[in-house]
Amino acid sequence: MVENVGTLFQWLIFLGVAFVSILASLLVITRKNPIHSAVFLVLTFLCVAVLYLLLYSQFIAIIQIIVYAGAIVTLILFVIMLLDLEEELRSGLKLLYSKVLGSALAVLFLFAIIYSVAAMPLTGKLGPYPPGKLSQNVKTIGEVLFTRYLFPFEIVSVLLVAAIVGAVVLSKRKK
Amino acid sequence: MAIPSVPPVLFLILSGILFTIGVIGALTRRNAIIVFICIEMMLNAVNLTFITLSRFLQSMDGVIFAFFVMAVAAAEAAVGLAIFVMIYRSRGTINIDEINLLKW
């Protein structure tokens, strides 16, 4: 009975968060003011972070809030305020044949995804990390990241340095 | 009677819906920053797929991949927004219908 209550809460949280995240992402692509889009983007990211918690990934949920909802959206908001986008506000959403066609193809793609995930059950070999082990998340991720994935980790650090240098060089005002 | 827990299919369908909304936004909006936001949303949907499969296949690889995707997204945000600022300085607009030349 106690497990039933827990599962019921999982369902309630999943359904509520899924509804809010779909609504927020629809608002992101329909608002005319880019600031509103960025703020609804934060809401989408927070909902996805709650879904990560449901999937026993606390580390990724925290990183999601810090990096995405914190750093990237702040950067986007700064750039929106730096640029004077008044004329973009008025142009808004214009319907053209190419856009309708593109959206129809995207919806078709969604149906393909739904069919492909619903037609077959999840197959594949189970790994050595059951939920009990996954829930000690940071320790396990650290162990895997610094042993098996050490080389990609170093490559990512080089990539981040290159991105910092590139951003500084690009945004420097030329004399 | 026991309630079954949330199946992976629902998470995957939700991530597909978020990805499709991102695709539609990137195709229909003309403001480069909104297109960029939609790309971030698509990356996020893919991360949700990685985490879901990592949870239900009981493996750690998906979590590590999601971590790398986030690092690449941060690098992309820094460089991409710097490019937007530069384009705005030289052309006075970031409407992607008007930015159609690689060199001018």
Task: Work out the number of other CB atoms within 10 angstroms of the CB of residue B46.
Answer: 16
Asked if B64 and B73 count as a contact pair (C-beta separation under 8 A), the reply is no
pLDDT band at A19 (very low <50, low <70, confident <90, very high): very high
CA B62 to chain centre: 16
Which of A26, A134, A141 is closest, CB to CB, to B55?
A: A134
Task: Work out the number of other CB atoms within 10 angstroms of the CB of residue A132.
Answer: 8
Q: What is the pLDDT of residue A56?
A: 86
Asked if A23 and A31 count as a contact pair (C-beta separation under 8 A), the reply is no
Which runs of consecutive H residues, i.e. helices, occur in chain B?
Answer: 8-28, 32-56, 61-91
Q: What is the pLDDT of residue A40?
A: 94
Lowest mean pLDDT among A67-76, A129-138, B88-97: A129-138
Task: Work out the number of other CB atoms within 10 angstroms of the CB of residue A130.
Answer: 12
Query: What are the tens digits of pLDDT across the range B58-90?
Result: 888 888 999 999 999 999 999 999 988 888 888
Query: What are the tens digits of pLDDT across the range B15-46?
Result: 999 999 999 999 888 888 999 999 999 999 99
| Confidence check: pLDDT of B2 > 90 | no
Q: What is the pLDDT of residue B32?
A: 87
Q: Report the alpha-carbon distance of residue A165 to residue A160 in Å, rounded.
A: 9
Asked if A51 and B11 count as a contact pair (C-beta separation under 8 A), the reply is yes
| Confidence check: pLDDT of A148 > 60 | yes
Task: Work out the number of other CB atoms within 10 angstroms of the CB of residue A88.
Answer: 22
Return the H-helix or E-strand segment holding A9: helix A2-30
Q: What is the pLDDT of residue B91?
A: 80
Q: What is the pLDDT of residue A50?
A: 94
Query: What are the tens digits of pLDDT across the range A49-104?
Result: 999 998 888 889 999 999 988 889 999 999 888 887 665 555 545 557 878 888 89
Q: What is the pLDDT of residue B7?
A: 85
Q: How many helices (H) and strands (E) does chain A have?
A: 9, 0
pLDDT more than 70, % of chain A: 87
Asked if A27 and A1 count as a contact pair (C-beta separation under 8 A), the reply is no
| Confidence check: pLDDT of A23 > 90 | yes
Tell me which residues of chain B, numbers 61 to 80, contact chain A at a CB-CB cutoff of 8 Å: 61, 63-64, 66-68, 70-79
Report the pLDDT averaged over residues A123-150. Answer: 79
Q: What is the dihedral of CA A75, B76, B66, A102, to 10 degrees?
A: 100
Report the pLDDT averaged over residues A119-134. Answer: 74
Q: Which two tokens stand for residue A70?
A: 């914190």
Q: Report the alpha-carbon distance of residue A34 to residue A115 in Å, rounded.
A: 34
Q: What sign for the dihedral angle of Cα B83, B84, B85, B90?
A: positive
Beta bridge partners, B31, equal B95
Residue scoring higher pLDDT (A45 or A118): A45
In this prediction the ipTM stands at 0.90
Ramachandran area for residue B92 (φ above 0: left; ψ -120 to 50: alpha; else beta): left
Q: Report the alpha-carbon distance of residue A141 to residue B64 in Å, rounded.
A: 7
Tell me which residues of chain B, numbers 9 to 68, contact chain A at a CB-CB cutoff of 8 Å: 9-14, 16-25, 27-31, 33-34, 36-38, 40-41, 44, 47-48, 51-61, 63-64, 66-68
Which of A57, A113, A163 is closest, CB to CB, to B75?
A: A163
Contact across the interface for A48 and B48, Cβ inside 8 Å: yes
The length of chain B in residues reads 104
| Confidence check: pLDDT of B51 > 60 | yes
| Confidence check: pLDDT of B50 > 90 | yes
